[in-house]
Amino acid sequence: MTPSLKVVVAITSPIAFHQLKNQTILSTCIKSAQNFVSSVGSNAKLAIAGSAEDLAKVADIPCEKIVCDPNKPGDLAAAIRATPTDLVMIHDSQRALTQQGQFEAVYAALINGIDAVRPVSPFTETLKSINADNYIDETIDRNSMMRVSTPELIRFSAIDFDSQISTWFVPLFSGAKIATVDADADSARINSEKEIELMSYLLDWNK
């Protein structure tokens, strides 16, 4: 039997409500998540997580609304706990150009023995550490870093509901078996208004 799946679009910043081409960044992310939900079948459902104020702006979308602060792992986990499901997939509202192939790759990688999967890519920029006097201490080895993308896919049974801190969207139990897949370059996060124009060009290119 196909496990039940909840695909959660997490509204992580007000940037999500800015326009990207002819719709908001959030609308583009929700559409991608809806397309993936449709491809999985009847055991998959869409949900949107965010503050009550943010969720009021998407009240017309017929799906579950999860009131919480998605930027706080413990808060998001507690809200998800209210409606259990076998698998939880969480997608950042800032990653509007994430393609269906990345959703599919993450979903396919959650094989037996794996508790959580997310996309990653190499870190290619030069990164410096700065001391309290704003002098450069050292150059950090870029091979020790990685860029993390979404969606993240997690087994409900692997979520540590008693924890508050995590490098994932929700806390995982110690010893959880994790895996990664290659992230596409166009799944980059939109962090500021200045990046929206660049993403608009990439959106045209993807067409």
Residues 6 or more apart whose Cβ sits within 8 Å of residue 193: 15, 18
Q: What is the mean pLDDT of the chain?
A: 90
The full 3-state SS of 17-59, as one line of letters, equals HCEECCEEHHHHHHHHHHHHHHHHCCCEEEEEEECHHHHHCCC
pLDDT tops 70 at residue 144: no
Name the nearest CA neighbour of 150 among 184, 176, 175, 173.
184
Per-residue model confidence (pLDDT) at position 149: 95
Within its chain, how far is the Cα of 42 from the centroid? 22
Cα 25 from Cα 88, distance rounded (Å): 22
| DSSP H helix total and E strand total for the chain | 5, 12
Please provide residue 187's backbone torsions phi and psi, each rounded to the nearest 5 degrees. -90, 15
Single-letter residue type at 48: I
Segment 39-86, tens digit of pLDDT: 999 999 999 999 999 999 999 999 999 999 999 999 999 999 999 999
Peptide bond into 84 cis (omega under 30): no
Cα 117 from Cα 182, distance rounded (Å): 11
Cα 185 from Cα 75, distance rounded (Å): 30
124-128, 142-146, 177-181: which has the highest mean pLDDT?
Answer: 177-181
Within its chain, how far is the Cα of 47 from the centroid? 13
Domain boundaries, the chain: 5-206
Residue listed under structure tokens 């999967």:
117
Peptide bond into 119 cis (omega under 30): no
The C-alpha angle 201, 205, 207, rounded to 5 degrees, equals 120
Tokens of 124: 């290619």
pLDDT band, residue 147 (cuts 50/70/90): confident
CATH architecture of 5-206: Alpha-Beta Complex (3.90)
pLDDT band, residue 204 (cuts 50/70/90): low
